[in-house]
Every structure is written in C-alpha cells, then in structure tokens.
Structure 1
Amino acid sequence: MDLVELRGLVALLRARATDLTDLEAKSAVGGLPKSLRDTISAFSNDRGGTIILGLDERTDFSLADGFRAAAIRDALASACAGELEPPVRADIDIVDFGEGAVVVAEVPELDPRFKPCYVKSRGEYNGSFTRGGDGDRKLTDFEIHLLHTNRGQPDDDRRPVPDATIDDLDGASLGSLLRRVRQRQRRAFDGLGDEAVLRRLNVLTPDSGDRLVPTLGGLLALGQYPQQFFPQLNATFAVYPGVSAEDIPAGGPRFLDNRTFEGSIPNIVDEAVAAVLRNTSLRSFVEGAGRRDVYDYPVEALREVIVNALIHRDYSPYSRGTPVQIVLYADRLAVANPGGLFGAVTEDDLGGEGVSSTRNPVLVKLLQDVQLPDSDRTVCENRASGIPTMLREMRRAGSAPPEFHNRINRFKVIFPRHALLTSETMEWIEGLGATGLTATQQMALAQMREGRTITNQSMRNFGLEGRRATIELADLVGRGLAVRLGERRHARYVLVPSAGRPSISDVSQTDREGIVLAVLSARPDMSRRDIEVATGLGQITVLRTLDALIAVGKVEATAPARSPLRRYRIVSGP
C-alpha cells in the first residue's frame, strides 16, 4: 500500500470517526492487541479487510506515540502464521506516515474450502469470528456448520423423510412431472415404471429398510402438505405501515397484512407473489405512443427473488425451524432466507453471466420440471438466470437496483420501492450540464442524490462489468460530479454538494470535512480554489471547513493566511 492510499483510508476513518466493517485501526503501542487475532479470523471468514496498526483512535487516528513498527510487523506476521488455523497469508507492510510509520496488513478472504479460520488457542467453536458493524462477533454453531457444508455438496434435499409415504405427494403434480421428463429425456427413462423414474429423479429413496419414502426435495417440490413433517419450512409475509417494524401510527394497526404461506414450493411461490402484488400499487410509464403499467415491484423480479430464497436456503436440521421471511415496508421489500451464499459464489459475482452454485441440487433439478399452479411455466430454469432477471426487470421498471446482503447465516435481498429516474430527477440531471452521461451514470447520480454512497459493486448491480464500472465512476469524479472517499476496495463515491443539494446549509459539517479530507488525500498541497473546484463547495464554506480541520490538527497550511502561496495538506503525523 502506498502513502496516497493510506492517507485516503485515514481520511475515511476520520470522516466516519470509527472503524469500518472491512477496516480496523489500533494503536498497538503496548504490543500486538490480543483482540487482533479475533479480527484476523473475522476478516478471513468474511470478505477480507485491512488492518492499520500505529494509529490512535482517541486522537482522531493520528500516529500513536511510542509505536514500534518493526516489532509489531514481526509479531503480526508470527500471529498470522502460527496462532490461526489455517494460517493466514496476509500482505504486511510498513508504510511511512508523517514523522513515523504504521503497519498495514491486507487480510484476504479465506477459500471457502478451508473456512472457518479460528484462533488456535480457543478452538474452532470458541475461536471463530465474523464482523458485525465495526466489531468482531463469535460465530454460532449454526454458522460454523454452514461453513463446513460449504466445503462440499450438502445432501439435505436428498435425505429420506421416514414418516412420509408416496401418498403424501400430490398425484396431479406427479403425473405432470412424469409426462414432462419422459417426453424431454426419453433415453434416460425409456422402459422404466413410474416408481423407478421417481427413484431416478430422487423424488423417492429407500429409508433405513427397503421401504420407499419421499426425499425432502421431493416432498418440498411435490408434496401435498410438507408442513405436516416440517412445520416451519414455509414462508411468512408481513406488511408494515411505516419504514420499520416500530414505525406504527398512533392508534393504527401493527400490520397491514400478516400471513403464512404453506404447501409445496410451487404453491408458496404462487400465493406469495399474489399477496405482495395485492399490497402494492401500479405505476405508469410512457413508451412511444403508448403506456406501460407496472407494479412497484416487477412481477418477474418478484417471482425470482421468492423462488431463489426457497430453493437456495439452507435445509439442514439447524435451520428447519426458520421460514423464508418476506417483509413489505412503506419504502422497500425485503426477502430473507437462512443460509448465506453457497460455494465459491460471492456478492461480487452476483448478476454475472453463468454464475451459479447450488446448495440443493435435487430440489432445483426437480423444480425445473415442476409447474406453477394453473400455469405451463416451471418454477425455475436452473440456468443461473435468477439474479440477472431481477437486475434486468428492476432496470426496465426504472427502479433502483436490488441490494444484496450476504452473511454466513442469512442472505437478504432488498427491493427499493421508489422509481429511480423520475421526471423530476431527470430534470435535475439535465441541469448539471454534463452531456454524454450513460444510463448507469445517471442511475448512480440519482442514488447519490438521495444520500447513498456508490461503490463499484453498486455499478455492477446496474449491469456493468467491473472494469467498466470503475471507468464510469472515475468519469463522474473527473466531471466534478462525485468525489471518492477511500481507495481500492474501500472506495466509496458521494455527490459533491453543489451538484446534489439545493442549499449548502443542507450539508452537515461532518460531510463537508469528510469530502475535503478525501480530496486532499488524493492531491496533497492544494490551494483553496483547487478545493472549491474539486468539491463543489463555495469559497466561504471551504474556508470555514479548512479552519475547522486545521483547529483539530487534521489539516495544515503551507503559508500565512493572506499569502498567494498558501496551500493545504493533510497532517500525516501526530
């Protein structure tokens, strides 16, 4: 890591006044902190992270007095190699900073085949950690189980359900499935009786004896009422009147709708989609000489998010008491399922062409031949098309892209309710005077205008590949429309105040300081005018912000106040 990048990270820490999910800073003056082993474990089990040692949070992340960089570097390398299992291959450097130096360690995410990473002295079940906010949290037994299953292929959907019989499967659904597979795969099933075909499809399997019983996957795909055997393998639906479960009008109802969907997965999908649509409204879009009406959440995207939650959730005994949860708020729809992303798929991969890893292969294979109720459409395609369909349909509807939140024990998708590129927003974008903006740049600006930070992943959710996302974000910075906070994996982009705010008074002091620090971290020794141009802030605002930063020792001036040579730079040392 070079000095410019380090300055960017320190500016980000100072702007946020705390550690971040993927960034940890400690003074380490008295030696390597014991808690740092937990952090290394957590970064390894999540998406990786950066550790900076030698900065004191109590003094606004300035250089810690008495820090010994070489000794701490050696101690950190020793801990990574000998105190964690498996050993962590961190990239550890000493970086000059002001009048001293700090130790920077880039901790990579561990290969899923070897997770969890744990502190040896505490053992796997007491020494495995994950990140929670800006701290470390011990993994639960369920989370460790999920990491273990990620090393191979789970077979929960292939397991027999001993108390069930073939009579617990729906006869009409069985008949339709048999006709479809015999027609589509004649060679595989030619000359076989129904029972043999169902065994080959893993709908039926022998139990501990020779008696044929349904598999879990067979029961979920074709059962009359799987909840007789697994009461919580269903989906719940709640509609709140406000933007949170606690946002309830005085004297108003707690729920606008509250129900549970049961039966087979095809029935759950059908009823859940219908229920969400009943609780949402239509929006109209002009297309050419006509008009197109769409729901707040496009039907295709809605169906895909519910199907994905049901077919990719964890079905191990640990989570059979947890349903898929569908929650509709005033401003968003959230769909969550137990079990995070499976296999080598990461959040960065979501939406990519051909990206797929199936936790429940028997169930998924069956549902590509099982039809939805009163339809000739099957439940899923098994072509890694679910998330790309969500992204495409949300874009077509002019909505903000879905947000993906992956944790070891849960995966959640959030659909924002509002339209992103409204006529008012488009007028604002045109008023910026920036010609030739791409559609994805316009969507990014619209989200930044709402106060959201944009990342490379955000742009990929708009449908761009990684390199193109980086180019388009850099172009927004070059046009003076956005400013970057942080570097590389920590880079976040926000709107410059003059582009997105009707009045500079609407920008908080913390926001102004963070933006000025971010600009100075990338270009040291800037004049006041340079800072005005780069940030979009007015002259008086820049001067007041610089005075505030100088007063707390974050920024220094290179010449007296009235000198034409006066420039500004970040204070690197204590």
Structure 2
Amino acid sequence: MEIPEDVLREAIANAVVHREYADLFQGEPVTVDVYPDRVEIASPGGLWGGKTKDNLDDGRSMCRNRVLMQMLQHVPHHEAAGFTVEGQGGGVRMMMNQMTAHALEGPEFTVHPDQVVVTLRRHGVEIPALRQWLQSLSSETLTEQEEAILLIARRNGGVTVPGLRQSLGADSDVLRMVLDGLASKGLMRETGTDSYALWAEEQGLTDAERAVVDALASGHAQELSVHDIARATGRAVTSLRPVLRGLVERGVVVATAPPTSRNRRYVLPDG
C-alpha cells in the first residue's frame, strides 16, 4: 500500500487510545475501511480535552485513557525500532509530514460530536508522474528515504537538514549521510551549510546532460575524458562534445584543459 506504515499505525493507535469508552459508546468498534483510493479510520466519540480540528497538530498530548496510552507507549513495534504509539503530541504532525514526503495528500480529519474519522488518500493525480520522475533521475535503485528527500526537494526547491529532520523524523547525522550520498550520485548539490538543491531542477538538465553528470558522479571525483564518458553512457563521442561544451559553459561541469588539448578531462565542480 502507498500509505506509509508509520502513518497507518499511528492513525489506528490514536483511534484506539482517544476513542470514547463511556457506557453510551460501549459496543461501538474502531473501524478501518480500505477503499481503492483511500483508507478511513473511524473512532467512536468526539474530540476531548480542548482539542479541535484546528489544533490537532499543536503538539499537546491529550487522551481519555492515560493508562492505555502509557501501555501502548511501551509496546515495541514488532519489526522496527520504536513503539506502537508516539504519545508525545507529535503523532499528527508526523502523519502529515510522512504523507507529504511520500507525495500523498495530508490526512483529512472529519469531526462529529460522536465520531472522528481520519481519511488517508492512497493516490493523487500526480503520483504516476512523480514515480516516473524519480525513475528518470538515476538508473540506481533509491531507498525510500532518498526518494522522500528528492520529492521534498522538488516540491520546495531545495532541502535543509533541520527541515528534513522535522519532516521525516530522522537523525541529523543520518540525513547528512543520505544527502552526501545523493550528492555523490549527482542527484543533489550542496548550496550552503546543511542546505541542498536538486542538480536537475537547478540546472535544467536534458537527458543527455543528465547521463553525463551521472557518469561523472559515479567516477568518484576522478577526471574523465570524453571517451571515458562515451563508454559510461553508451553515447557517441561526436554527440557528447556539444553536450559537454554546454555543460562547461554553464558551470555544471569543469574542464581541466583547453578544448584543443588532448589532455582535456571533465569533472564535477566541488560543493
């Protein structure tokens, strides 16, 4: 399913913890309905403790059944690090950020006096296009975290480590390692301290230019000749010369010698 597992787990756990347990609601279950385009989780009872639809993501943790909340906070996830429920008031914000990071619409909350329904959209009209865009960036298989970072960078025009930490809930040092990896693959470039932008978005690369940048990035900072690049990309030398000339003129690629030199090599710029 397209919806992140952490989002589904948090939504269902919230429905169980925050539901109404008064006699009037006894026998009414928490329901999870799966449709082709969405998942709906319904919880008996309205909002409680001063919570409204407008302040669900304010970071304050309020619940009807604190004993149940404390218990679920200590129930470990069976496959990953962490616990069944977040419990610190950041669960709704995490759900919003995770859905956004996976190019999905944010969770929708429908609030009634006797019921709260959370709707998680499975598809958006742009999802196939975004998937195609990700596949066009690199022939290498990208991790889920790498894909999330690239999608956020595309939407926002760039990313920062603090911003990604808030959006993805990952450790800053881990994010720096992932970003450095994306930079080494030629997919992103550092634009400042803990700040990165997309190579393709920033430079407006064509498919041929993208292939050249990928070849240089995979060379691990080694200088490549036009013949090296031709072998790496499967393109003819004659077709690569104008591509390289344009990349050098725009500063995307650095040439090590004049155009007439047999020792002319190419490399990506530092930073």
Compare the two structures and name the one with the higher strand fraction: 1
TM-score (norm 2): 0.45
